[in-house]
């Protein structure tokens, strides 16, 4: 959640969260382009542009999932609150595995760039494990190395790197199909965030959200050494681990850390990814119609403003507002309380003024368009 952010930690939080959202959104858009190219190669028939990719690794959230996701998140939060000591090792291992895969995905473009001059893009077979390129193997090896160093040291910078990988992977592989689903999901998560930050203490005598987010877990190496009775000096000097479910940055004085949950990046990031795909879809549709102008009551300058830029500015203002609120109240704030209105309301207003609200509200990507790949940002 958004805590007291000061000096360099505040700037770091703003910049990193915005960069993660922008990078994850463009990775998602590039995956759409790659999938379209594969479909064209595998079939001679060309269908309509569909923002919901047919790639099996991509998960599209429907209305039912959007409604029940806050409930599932609440159940998971309660399990972690009441049974943390029992499930912490399993949860730590699962988180480490997911973070390894996500960080490998984050490193993949860099590894592809490094291996392109010196190795072919042919895939290497590993039997039942599958076939992988040299870039994929390199990115996975680097990711495993980073996770092992994080387990041994527990350093906050390595934890941040893993959290960044989780943010980018979730934004790239999870899709919102329409504005209706976006509103349902973000509104439900806003209620979820407000309840567990502001009102959970009245029921459970403790701030459930803050306790779960800040509670460190036992290091699996320490647990393993105790289970196997390896001796008092084997695995006992490793630190407890703060799990990569958040970004933390030290203040300029080093006296405390500022904190932002990855849910406060990923959930608005899914909305940003949706509007970026819609901007690209609308640009393709306009090019097909030879640049037909928008509604007559909207100025040309308004038509040139993209939904992506509008929503991204709203995210920045919402995060800034959450920071100011945490400074004033000197307590944890539900960041989605500020991020959701500052992203959704400008988007809905602009969509209404441009005449796109009805189309964006329900399955906006089912229309024939060109395969143009150029995007102005």
Q: Which positions are annotated as active-site residues?
A: 193, 264
CB 285 within 8 A of CB 40: no
Tokens of 348: 């809905």
Q: What is the CA radius of gyration of the chain?
A: 22
Q: Which of 302, 296, 289 is nearest to 351 (CA)?
A: 302
The CA distance from 112 to 280, in Å, is 25
Tokens of 5: 């952010």
SS3 of residue 13 by DSSP: helix
The CA distance from 103 to 289, in Å, is 41
Between the two ends of the chain, the Cα-to-Cα distance in Å is 29
The CA distance from 198 to 182, in Å, is 24
SS3 of residue 333 by DSSP: strand
DSSP assignment of 103-129 equals: HHHHHHHHHHHHHTTTS--PPEE-GGG
Per-residue b/e over 176-201, b at no fewer than 16 CB within 10 Å? bbbbbbbbbbbbbbbebbebbbbebe
Tokens of 289: 């119609």
Q: ∠370-375-377 over CA atoms, to 5°?
A: 155
- Sheet strands (E) in the chain: 59-60, 124-125, 131-132, 174-175, 246-250, 257-261
Question: Which residues on neighbouring strands pair with residue 261, listed in sequence order?
Answer: 246
Q: Which of 288, 280, 255, 315 is nearest to 2 (CA)?
A: 315
Is residue 136 packed enough to be buried (19+ CB in 10 Å), middle (13-18) or exposed (0-12)? buried
């Amino acid at each position: 959640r958004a805590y007291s952010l000061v000096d360099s930690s505040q700037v770091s939080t703003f910049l990193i969260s915005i960069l993660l959202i922008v990078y994850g959104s463009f990775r998602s858009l590039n995956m759409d382009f790659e999938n379209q190219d594969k479909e064209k190669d595998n079939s001679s028939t060309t269908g309509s542009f569909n923002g919901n990719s047919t790639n099996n690794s991509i998960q599209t959230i429907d209305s039912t999932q959007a409604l029940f996701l806050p409930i599932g998140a609440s159940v998971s939060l309660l399990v972690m609150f009441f049974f943390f000591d029992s499930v912490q090792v399993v949860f730590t291992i699962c988180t480490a595995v997911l973070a390894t895969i996500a960080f490998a995905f984050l490193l993949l473009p860099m590894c592809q760039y490094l291996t392109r001059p010196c190795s072919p893009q042919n895939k290497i077979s590993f039997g039942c494990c599958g076939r992988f390129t040299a870039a994929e193997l390199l990115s996975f090896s680097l990711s495993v190395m980073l996770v092992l160093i994080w387990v041994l040291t527990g350093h906050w910078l390595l934890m941040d790197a893993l959290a960044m990988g989780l943010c980018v992977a979730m934004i790239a592989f999870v899709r919102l199909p329409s504005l209706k689903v976006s509103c349902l999901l973000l509104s439900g998560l806003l209620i979820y965030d407000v309840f567990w930050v502001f009102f959970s203490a009245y029921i459970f005598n403790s701030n459930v959200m803050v306790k779960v987010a800040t509670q460190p877990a036992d290091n699996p190496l320490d647990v393993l050494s105790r289970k196997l009775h390896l001796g008092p000096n084997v695995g006992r000097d490793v630190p407890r681990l703060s799990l990569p479910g958040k970004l933390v940055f030290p203040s300029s004085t080093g006296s405390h850390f500022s904190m932002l949950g990855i849910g406060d990046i990923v959930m608005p990031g899914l909305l940003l990814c949706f509007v970026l795909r819609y901007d690209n879809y609308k640009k393709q549709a306009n090019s097909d119609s030879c640049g037909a102008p928008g509604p007559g009551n909207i100025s040309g300058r308004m038509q040139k403003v993209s939904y992506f830029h509008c929503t991204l500015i709203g995210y920045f203002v919402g995060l800034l507002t959450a920071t100011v609120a945490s400074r004033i109240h000197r307590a944890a704030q539900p960041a989605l309380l500020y991020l959701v209105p500052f992203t959704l309301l400008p988007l809905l207003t602009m969509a209404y003024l441009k005449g796109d609200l009805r189309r964006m509200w329900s399955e906006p990507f089912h229309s024939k368009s060109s395969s143009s790949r150029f995007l102005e940002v």
